[in-house]
Structure 1
């Protein structure tokens, strides 16, 4: 998970199983960011569907932006947390 720190607000991007999830992403409302994270910790594979061509393009754009703006980015490895609640507490959201 990437935490993008900006003076105005903090954004979160999750790369999981070949898909890009953005917290509060108004263009794609087909998922709930917190539900995806909770599903990861519960090993609920029903929340995650297969990768599509648009996901690959989204990933390319996201990774390119993250590299160009790396001074604003902090990386959090989900495997370092036992539960979604611990991750949410550290990141101070939800």
Structure 2
């Protein structure tokens, strides 16, 4: 089973595309993109007008970050604009202590 030499240009393009997608997902995860924080698409109505647009979903990937904080049994997610740090929405949950 010998290596056959050069890869086809189609295969190189496929590997390059996959590498770019994986790098983009890694960068978004590292920077805390809101869309990768576990929020559902229906909750990405950032301007709260009752209508979810494609632009708002894209903002969840590129312009909105999710900052998680925990204080005892209370955990919060603060959704902020990337760059300015302006808070858009804060969602908090309190979980009961285990017996």
TM-score (norm 1): 0.27
* Structure with the largest fraction of strand: 2
- Larger Rg belongs to: 2
